Amino acid sequence: MRIISAKDYQDVSRKAANIIASQVILKPNCVLGLATGSSPVGTYQQLIAKYEAGELDFSQVRTVNLDEYVGLTADHDQSYAYFMRHNLFDHVNIDQANTNIPCGVEPDAEKECARYDAVIESMGGVDLQLLGLGPNGHIGFNEPCDEFVPGTHRVELTEATINANARFFESMDDVPRFAYTMGIRGIMQADKVLMVVNGANKAQAVKDCFFGSVTPQAPGSILQLHKNFTLVADEAALSLVKDLL
């Protein structure tokens, strides 16, 4: 585990984008595992800027996203499919046929999860997986629970996650209760994992996940066992562990 301390959100985003850019330069047809949420938005902006400056070519890049809300169509403005187009795909020269996100409106969970695991496998695995961290320590939508779930699965979101996501929806009732998420195996099998974390509201999760025991109650803690895991976090997110670095 490598921890890179950044000054603030901008600095987190710049450092993370440089790491992703080097992956794309070294392997132009790489598979990027991508995340949504507010944490990676700045990273995506930096990648777009590098593309616009002629420094990056996404034409051969393939992507696989972590998760999608159950019940939202790809056109819904809070779906993760919409988020990815809006925050990255529409602004770079990626072939959108090479981008993958679970289908939120497939009602047969078993079928959709098996399809998604097969997609990941058919791509030959993920070269670099980008992650955020939930305030409760979740990665993807692998919520705190009694055991790690390996494959893509349908998950009931915890109250904490529903509350954290409510800011993006008009009312509490509109916040989806279920999601499809890549499982712990999909994440752990990535060659490299890069996590971006900022803000004091993540400080406890950072401490629990990376300075405590490996436990499914703090799902991100499994990354302590990953062979090539890099955490890029700002000072606020590292505030509870600064004496341990």
**Active site (catalytic) residues:** 67, 136, 138, 143
Q: Which residue is nearest to ligand F6R (CB)?
A: 132
CB of 183 to ligand F6R, least distance (A): 12
Which region among 110-118, 130-138, 226-234, 235-243 touches ligand F6R (by CB under 6 A)? 130-138
CB of 166 to ligand F6R, least distance (A): 12
Q: What is the DSSP string of 151-163?
A: S-EEEEPPHHHHH
Whether the CB-CB separation of 59 and 26 falls below 8 Å is answered with no
CA distances from 26 to 49, 167, 231 (A): 19, 38, 21
Number of other CB atoms surrounding residue 216 within 10 Å: 17
Of the candidates 33, 42, 134, 186, which one interacts with ligand F6R according to CB under 6 A? 134
Query: How many whole angstroms separate alpha carbon 124 and alpha carbon 12?
Result: 29
| Nearest residue (CB) to ligand F6R, 134 versus 176 | 134
Of the candidates 70, 88, 139, 194, which one interacts with ligand F6R according to CB under 6 A? 139
| Nearest residue (CB) to ligand F6R, 26 versus 156 | 156
| Nearest residue (CB) to ligand F6R, 48 versus 137 | 137
Q: Is 186 near ligand F6R (CB under 6 A)? A: no
DSSP H or E run through 9: helix 9-26
User: Which residues in the 57-116 window bind ligand F6R by CB under 6 A?
Assistant: 66-67
Whether the CB-CB separation of 202 and 238 falls below 8 Å is answered with no
CA distances from 134 to 26, 56, 131 (A): 30, 30, 10
Of the candidates 50, 62, 138, 153, which one interacts with ligand F6R according to CB under 6 A? 138
| Nearest residue (CB) to ligand F6R, 39 versus 54 | 39
Give 142's DSSP letter.
B
| Nearest residue (CB) to ligand F6R, 12 versus 61 | 12
User: Which residues in the 23-52 window bind ligand F6R by CB under 6 A?
Assistant: 35-39
Q: E-strand spans in the chain?
A: 2-6, 31-34, 62-65, 67-69, 99-100, 128-131, 153-156, 178-181, 192-197, 229-234
Interacting residues toward ligand F6R by CB under 6 A: 35-39, 66-67, 132-134, 138-141
